[in-house]
A and B are shown apart, each in its own frame.
Chain A
């Protein structure tokens, strides 16, 4: 199996707190992988560890058949990763367009970036209408689109998404997941951390379940949906 990203026994520590304990996972080319788990299970730390935002205490990471274990975030981004962070982290004092340009910070091919920005505007007309305005005027849904657009402009092969549906209305969540499926059809692999378990399982091809910093389960979404333990723990009873 050709895997795009493979993480082996990654550990992330904040001081004496073990946020991630020896997590191993892989994402194949063009796959959608979900990481599920309760609050504080270490999902965000896992993503931050994969992008190198927090130094890995232990473990190895290969991406696109390169060893990136000790690489800096710019090196990992240049290699083809992009993170759409929790809470979107839009830069409010920059305009919408400048935020998009920040996504392409490491790219040197300005004309291509220009073209891709125009393509993004065609996809998100709301952003196009506000391109010259400060990003702080955007609504939550628009901010999420901007955060994803910013991620796309890094031209990644793998996009890491941290709770993209957080704070969005049910309607916007639907729209978001449609967008993610569309991006995936265009060849982008996704590693998705979600609390919206049901939606995530409907979208993904494989899912991991994290608990207290460790990966405790890995399966096809169908099987996980049938798993009574998981349903009880994360889906809140029968529905």
Chain B
């Protein structure tokens, strides 16, 4: 029984993790809370239902559903992030929220508000390990989620474009002066985020065999919580947070009943944040997979700075004409020569 719950919760958790990764990527690189992501999740889920009901071959349906996420992500980028550089900081945030509502209502108009039953395209195959039943699609789903994040990790750490993204994450203006075509790299964040959430939507629809125009809203808060729990901008932290929320949710249902599920999830979030005073990954993180952030790299206690960031969907350009000697000396360094040089730099300029 316990093992069964664990298997179920890992599946649910991997869906949350995918959403959290998409959120954390946008926050980490662009300092932007992309509220339209749950909308993409829902569109992918509903599209899966629609295509499967229309007897489209399931690999094609998967491709179209997941691809829709990338495409819509690009659309959102054009109308939110592009506006960002020229408008007040709340405009893109509100615009992305408007996209969520827009997607929802378009789906409502097209397909109605009912909870739809997703037909399964293949016979469910399952393995029995003693009393535990592991559905193979579940397993494949989980593997897909982990694989997707591993690929993202390689992209960020090992490739040229990944280095460019991490530079943008720390300081967009430095990226510009090194020749990174920021306007061409940034859409990638939206496309990848869209693909991740859409993968989540597809897996959700397949595994729970249901889809509704409101499924995005339900998952949005869980995804954001998972992101916060994992430490914003940390993709492996987002995975950890997603899986943990999945586990807690499943076990809350078993132990306290379905009505208390949110108390379990958000109670735990509150408890962890209050007790640890930091996101999980700040303690346990595989360090360098944290994207960004100028705050955490320059000032020692990272946790508080991390938590200041969600509020800070502030124009990311604000860091440009800042006096520089501060940031070069701020980083701690054990070397004595640095300390000496730092003391020299603080003296008034000699005449």
The answer to whether B333 and A138 touch across the interface, beta carbons within 8 angstroms, is yes
Interface of B is mostly: helix
Interface of A is mostly: loop
Please, how many angstroms separate the alpha-carbon atoms of A77 and B237 in the complex? Answer: 36
Q: Among B163, B298, B345, which residue has its beta carbon within 8 angstroms of that of A92? A: B298
Residues of B within 8 A of A88 (CB): 324, 328
Question: Is B240 interfacial (CB 8 A cutoff)?
Answer: no
Among B14-22, B170-178, B216-224, the stretch in contact with A: B170-178
Please, how many angstroms separate the alpha-carbon atoms of A93 and B285 in the complex? Answer: 15
Number of A-B contacts (CB under 8 A): 118
Please, how many angstroms separate the alpha-carbon atoms of A218 and B293 in the complex? Answer: 43
Question: Is A149 interfacial (CB 8 A cutoff)?
Answer: no
Number of A positions contacting B (CB below 8 A): 42
Among A2-10, A166-174, A177-185, A202-210, the stretch in contact with B: A166-174
- Nearest A residue to B320, CB-CB: A53
Q: Among A73, A94, A141, A168, which residue has its beta carbon within 8 angstroms of that of B179? A: A73
Please, how many angstroms separate the alpha-carbon atoms of A72 and B176 in the complex? Answer: 10
14 further A-B pairs in the complex, CB-CB below 8 A; given A92-B331, A103-B178, A150-B178: A87-B325, A89-B177, A90-B328, A91-B174, A92-B297, A93-B169, A93-B297, A98-B166, A105-B164, A137-B331, A140-B345, A167-B328, A168-B345, A195-B349
27 A–B contacts from the bound complex (CB under 8 Å)? A85-B174, A85-B324, A89-B177, A91-B166, A91-B174, A92-B331, A93-B166, A93-B290, A93-B291, A94-B163, A94-B170, A101-B160, A102-B163, A136-B331, A136-B333, A138-B333, A140-B341, A141-B337, A141-B341, A143-B328, A154-B178, A166-B324, A167-B341, A167-B344, A167-B345, A168-B345, A172-B341
A: which residues have CB within 8 A of B?
51, 53, 72-74, 77-78, 83, 85-94, 98, 101-103, 105-106, 134, 136-141, 143, 150, 154, 166-169, 172, 195, 236-237
B: which residues have CB within 8 A of A?
160, 163-164, 166-167, 169-171, 173-174, 176-181, 288, 290-294, 296-298, 323-325, 327-329, 331-335, 337-338, 340-342, 344-345, 349, 351
